[in-house]
Structure 1
Amino acid sequence: MATKLTPWSIISTVVVLVLAGFAVADARDTETTGKARASLTMMAPAAAGGGWDLVAREAQQSLRKNKIVGTVQVSNVPGAAGTIGLSQLVRMEGQPNILMVTGTVMLGGIARGSDFSLADTTPIARLAEDFQVVAVPAGSPHRTLDDFLTAWKMDPAATPVGGGSAGGVDHLVAGQLAKAVGIPGSDVKYTPHSGGGELTISLLSSAAGTVNVGISGYNDFRDMIESGKLRALAVVAPERLAGVDIPTMIELGHPEVDLVNWRGLVAPPGLSETDRAELTMIVTEMVATTEWKEAVNRNRWKENFLTGPDFEKFIAEEQQSITALLKELGLA
């Protein structure tokens, strides 16, 4: 005998079917795009305290505060101008909830020898530009950039310059500056450091083997400059940083020293178009937040947002440019 369906039983059946449909959709989202919204890892391919780490943590705060994703953790993987982190990212193929900070420094590391390049990743977005500063200890006899350059030209070997990874943006700026004043690249004594923190310690130390001139991102030196422990001689930027009294290379007669350190985000290879679009949307929402805009202003960055094929093209062109510059300066 057939069971007679009452209006309430029909309604209950419909509700169950609708809820089941939502459950299937939720499960699908969790497997793909929902995974990034639920939990995201931001990899900084450098030690804590440096420029990449700063970008990762500012992004973390912006994403958390605005509830763009559920949880965000920062993972530090230092070494070899970021290429150790790059090698780990490439091996995370298909994982849709990982983003790695990258930029000019990594391109230098790739050019000097790496099993992988950014072509092996999924580019997501260029975020901003950061600017390098040439600085000396407060007690240095070099009161101006010209003072340093005069001493450097007289005896390059006696004036070691410190910065980040060999072949990175700091090293390239040193090479550009040496070329601008006629110092052969082979004569430049460059001392690499694991990050801005280690470089600052070296600059402030009088121990043997430390350096007296350093090149790094403004934020690596900011506290020491503001406290008067370091003196900034020049900033490599198209114009002076807002609220900061440091002359530009252009003002000082060296417009050819112009390398800009951009910051961006890439994801593992092998992502679906849906997962890539979701990560791009997450970052797009992030850069529109008040917190991120405040971070850009606070850190004296210049926002330069770019996504999609345009960002891929930018990376390819930048890699060619950095590789050529390294060869020209005898660094690769």
Structure 2
Amino acid sequence: MRVMRTGAAPVGIVLALTLAGCSALEAGGGSGGDAAIDDLSIVVPAGPGGGWDQTGRAMQTDMQEEGLVGNATVTNVDGAGGTVGLANIANATDPNTLLVMGLVMVGAVETNEAQARIEHTTPIARLTEEQEVIVVPANSPYKNVEDLVEDITENGKDVSITGGSAGGTDHILAGMLLQASGMPSEHIQNKLNYIAYSGGGESLAALLGNNVSAGISGVSEYAEQVAAGELRALAVSGEERVDALPDTPTLTEAGYDVVLTNWRGVVAPGNLEDADKEALTTAVTELAGSEAWQATLEEKGWDDAFLAGDEFDTYLEGNIAEIQVVLQDIGLIQ
């Protein structure tokens, strides 16, 4: 029985994704004609430089280059895991507006008890994803994920796991791992000692200083230190191994029925007219199939996770429900 499949879609959704991707490839590549959207506003609900900001600015550049919009602007609205920006867009009156968001926001809405919810927006598309990796210091006694889980089971909070913000992707994966180990839900929050840091540099320093037992983050955050022999990777969180860590098994291979990816996508204001939703969905679909965007994915090391329309709607609904269960188990929400 699969405990969580947050990063994986059911067979029907995968088929729809494939068909949508084919359509995008046929329609994309730069129309060169008059853009259906003259002015597009892209809201990034975080400060400059992070993953959401990079996504929004890459969309801005590539959509203009491909002639999919006449003009695109990016506005940063930072705060509370993206929920401040979410509140701004939920009732926005300009239909030609996109909010960059993703799995981190799904968790932030719950942990911040945000009044504005993702369900108050109009889902447009999932665009990218990145796998997580579980690492330990090079001199750690843990040789595999099973060793780590067994120690947590026996010694509880004497074992520490570091990662990003509480309720974020890293914290969620830690909870899912214990769920998949068979640990009863009521015990997880009493066993899991998760130490949250706001930046990857702080968690890395804690690992290299042997101040924590293990760490969880995106593959790109720790791959260099793994290659240098300063950290040891125990498992990655996707369905397949990653090129950056070819010798590192997936959690599924390690015996834990968990798949999770840190995905990013875009939503629009709520209560859009059908024509406005169609225009935005078409523009983003054509972006996903364009040469410019494919080059951006390659350059950034992002995995293509395109999913649009009703399929993304269904995926998002299931993702929110799954994350609510994990956050309850780790004691962040009631």
TM bucket normalised to smaller? 0.7 to 0.9
With CA pairs under 8 Å and 6+ residues apart, which has the higher RCO, 1 or 2?
2
Q: Per-residue deviation at 1:173?
A: 1.0
- Deviations along 1:265-286, one digit per CA (max 9) or x if unpaired, are 0122344333333322221121
Q: Structure 1: how far apart are the matches of 2:95 and 2:193?
A: 43
Q: Which residue of 2 aligns with 1:323?
A: 324
CA separation of 1:278/1:253 partners in 2, compared to 1, >3 Å: closer, same or farther? same
Pairing 1:99–2:102 present: no
CA separation of 1:284/1:271 partners in 2, compared to 1, >3 Å: closer, same or farther? same
CA separation of 1:295/1:229 partners in 2, compared to 1, >3 Å: closer, same or farther? farther
Q: Which residue of 1 aligns with 2:121?
A: 121
Identity %: 37
Q: Which residue of 1 aligns with 2:173?
A: 173
Pairing 1:46–2:46 present: yes
Q: What is the 5 A alignment of 1:225-304?
A: 225-242=226-243, 244-245=245-246, 246-255=248-257, 257-297=258-298, 301-304=302-305
Q: Structure 1: how far apart are the matches of 2:43 and 2:220?
A: 20
Q: Structure 1: how far apart are the matches of 2:156 and 2:294?
A: 41
Q: Is the 8 A contact 2:223 2:245 kept in 1?
A: no
Q: Per-residue deviation at 1:139?
A: 4.9
**Equivalent of residue 33 in structure 1, options 29, 32, 37:** 37
SS of 1:155 mapped into structure 2? helix
Which one-letter code corresponds to 2:188 in the other structure? G
Q: Is the 8 A contact 1:95 1:271 kept in 2?
A: no
SS of 2:39 mapped into structure 1? helix
Q: What is the 5 A alignment of 1:184-263?
A: 184-186=187-189, 187-205=191-209, 211-242=212-243, 244-245=245-246, 246-255=248-257, 257-263=258-264
Q: Structure 1: how far apart are the matches of 2:323 and 2:128?
A: 18
C-alpha RMSD of the superposition: 3.0
Q: Per-residue deviation at 1:176?
A: 1.7
Q: Per-residue deviation at 1:316?
A: 1.9
SS of 2:69 mapped into structure 1? coil
Which one-letter code corresponds to 2:275 in the other structure? T
Instruction: Decide which structure has the larger Cα Rg and report it.
Output: 1
Q: What are the ranges of 5 or more consecutive residues in structure 2 without an aligned counterpart?
A: 1-33
Deviates more, 1:218-227 or 1:159-168: 218-227
Q: Structure 1: how far apart are the matches of 2:287 and 2:294?
A: 9
Q: Is the 8 A contact 2:160 2:193 kept in 1?
A: yes
Q: Structure 2: how far apart are the matches of 1:98 and 1:146?
A: 46
Paired residues in the alignment total 294
- Deviations along 1:1-38, one digit per CA (max 9) or x if unpaired, are xxxxxxxxxxxxxxxxxxxxxxxxxxxx99x93222xx
CA separation of 1:294/1:159 partners in 2, compared to 1, >3 Å: closer, same or farther? farther
CA separation of 1:65/1:201 partners in 2, compared to 1, >3 Å: closer, same or farther? farther
Which one-letter code corresponds to 1:286 in the other structure? L
Q: Per-residue deviation at 1:320?
A: 1.9
Q: Is the 8 A contact 1:107 1:322 kept in 2?
A: yes
Q: What are the ranges of 5 or more consecutive residues in structure 1 without an aligned counterpart?
A: 1-28
- Deviations along 1:75-118, one digit per CA (max 9) or x if unpaired, are 44444332222122225x12234322222222222233211211
SS of 2:253 mapped into structure 1? coil
CA separation of 1:80/1:221 partners in 2, compared to 1, >3 Å: closer, same or farther? farther
CA separation of 1:51/1:240 partners in 2, compared to 1, >3 Å: closer, same or farther? same
Q: Structure 1: how far apart are the matches of 2:107 and 2:165?
A: 9
CA separation of 1:35/1:205 partners in 2, compared to 1, >3 Å: closer, same or farther? same
CA separation of 1:143/1:74 partners in 2, compared to 1, >3 Å: closer, same or farther? farther
Which one-letter code corresponds to 2:171 in the other structure? H
Q: What is the 5 A alignment of 1:62-73?
A: 62-73=62-73
Q: What is the 5 A alignment of 1:13-24?
A: none
CA separation of 1:135/1:118 partners in 2, compared to 1, >3 Å: closer, same or farther? same
Q: Which residue of 2 aligns with 1:5?
A: none
The normalised TM-score by structure 1 is 0.75
Q: Structure 2: how far apart are the matches of 1:72 and 1:202?
A: 40
